[in-house]
Copies of this chain bind each other. A is one copy, B any other.
Amino acid sequence: MSEHPGFTIWFTGLSGAGKTTISEIVAPALRERGLKIEVLDGDVVRTNLSKGLGFSKEDRDTNIRRIAFVADLLSRNGVGVITAAISPYAELRREARATMGERFIEVYVQASVEECAKRDTKGLYEKAFKGEIKEFTGVSDPYEAPERPEIRIESEHEEPEESAERILQLLEQRGLIPAAVTA
């Protein structure tokens, strides 16, 4: 295992947009290249770092700051980090970018609320539409789309494998990961 610079792939997008699906293709592909990878997805973080926090703006901001704090600690030590929280607020993503600089790769996974609701097997969107869940991003809570993400993925028009491949290519181009070994 050789030293490499460390980076954070910062997924952002609505619940159901495809963040986790794509990250689950990217993570093993990176590990296959001999890289140290840690995935900080929404659930892991809510359990281990942010238990007790709700979904008000203040609590969401605290949650995102904690993810950024841990992602920075890891990535500045050569670890490749993947975060997959909704992270709806532009200001907080800017903060994370300011902390991590060149190591920060923002990946915006875009899909319409209608499409996300269609994919939703837990029925969360339905409950949000009925007002049974308050502060649901994209329905009753804001989502501020990134203006200049490193990568923009329209998950209604692109297969997750293609999206993952584009992410790997960007990391290669930036010298953050070694080129794939071709057989």
A residues within 8 Å of B by Cβ? 1, 3, 36, 38, 48-49, 51-52, 62, 65-66, 69-70, 73-74, 77-79
Are A48 and B69 in contact, CB atoms less than 8 angstroms apart? yes
Q: Given A49-B49, A51-B62, A65-B48, are A38 and B77 also a contact pair (CB < 8 Å)?
A: yes
In the complex, how many angstroms separate the beta carbon of A42 from the nearest chain B beta carbon?
15
CB distance from A175 to the nearest CB of B (A): 17
Q: Determine whether the beta carbon of B66 is less than 8 Å from that of A48.
A: yes
22 contacts between A and B (CB under 8 A): A1-B3, A3-B3, A36-B77, A36-B78, A38-B73, A48-B65, A48-B66, A48-B69, A49-B49, A49-B66, A49-B69, A49-B70, A51-B62, A52-B62, A70-B70, A73-B74, A74-B74, A74-B77, A77-B77, A77-B78, A77-B79, A78-B78
